Amino acid sequence: MNLLNAKNLSHTFEYELFSDVNLQINEKESIAIIGMSGSGKSTLLHILSTLLEPHSGKVEIFNENIYEMKQKKLGGLKRDSLGLVFQSHYLFKGFSAYENLEVAAILSSKTIDDNLLKQLNIQECIQQKVTELSGGQQQRISIARVLTKKPRIIFADEPTGNLDKQTANNVMKLFFEYCENENAGMVLVTHDETLARMCDRVYKLENKVLKEI
Ligand SMILES: Nc1ncnc2c1ncn2[C@@H]1O[C@H](COP(=O)(O)OP(=O)(O)OP(=O)(O)O)[C@@H](O)[C@H]1O
Ligand SMILES: [Mg+2]
């Protein structure tokens, strides 16, 4: 089943970042987007994940144009079905790591999966305040928080940027298993071509064009 369908996307800030970008994601499928710093990868991910309306083109999620949806429906879609793991992690700073996961679980009526904590190796630091955690621990907590919601599409921007190779590989494995078990899809933005190659398809954003490589 198709989860996301992007058609003829283009976007311009000071200069045109890209045009005529087309992309599809199906259940159990992961795709990677690579490209030079400043090429527009994060911008494209924002457009795909409801955060930024493109200058032209459309994004359909579950066959519905997300930029024509009513606010309330869009809010529900984001809360229940989309998981965003971005370059800066938006954890609640005054709370413990565990409380951050509890909030996600309550908002989406799901439960916290102990197995997930184990796989991300965060059982040890789960009771600590977010501000006391290392960058890599925060990154793994925010991944746990997103997966606790059980989203159907994961949008991840350098989700393993703060992690050592071994831990990064474990996290990628977890994402792939998640997609397989939950019929989910993933869009991964990364600078790491080795990680990118673990996905089903790899695209490069270059010279304003997104092409499969
Ligand atoms: N909100 C904004 N307003 C104006 N320009 C922006 C905005 N967001 C991004 N840009 C510009 O768009 C270009 C692409 O930015 P983007 O963050 O998408 O790149 P990127 O490919 O993700 O880079 P990196 O690999 O460094 O994360 C940059 O030149 C950036 O300055
Ligand atoms: Mg970026």
Residue 141's Cβ-count burial label (10 Å; 0-12, 13-18, 19+) is buried
pLDDT of residue 161: 87
pLDDT of residue 90: 78
Segments of the chain scoring below 50 in pLDDT: none
Determine phi and psi for 20, rounding to 5 degrees: 50, 45
pLDDT of residue 128: 95
- Ligand 1 pocket test: pick from 42, 158, 160 the residue with the most ligand atoms within 8 Å of its Cβ: 42
Residue numbers of the domain that contains 140: 2-212
Note the pTM of the prediction, 2 decimals: 0.94
Number of domains in the chain: 1
pLDDT of residue 162: 86
Give nearest CA residue, ligand 1 atom 3.
Answer: 13
pLDDT of residue 168: 92
User: Cα(14) to centroid of ligand 1, in Å?
Assistant: 10
- Ligand 1 pocket test: pick from 43, 187, 188 the residue with the most ligand atoms within 8 Å of its Cβ: 43
CATH number, domain at 31? Answer: 3.40.50.300
List pLDDT tens digits, range 145-204.
Answer: 999 999 999 999 999 988 999 999 999 999 999 999 999 999 999 999 999 999 999 999
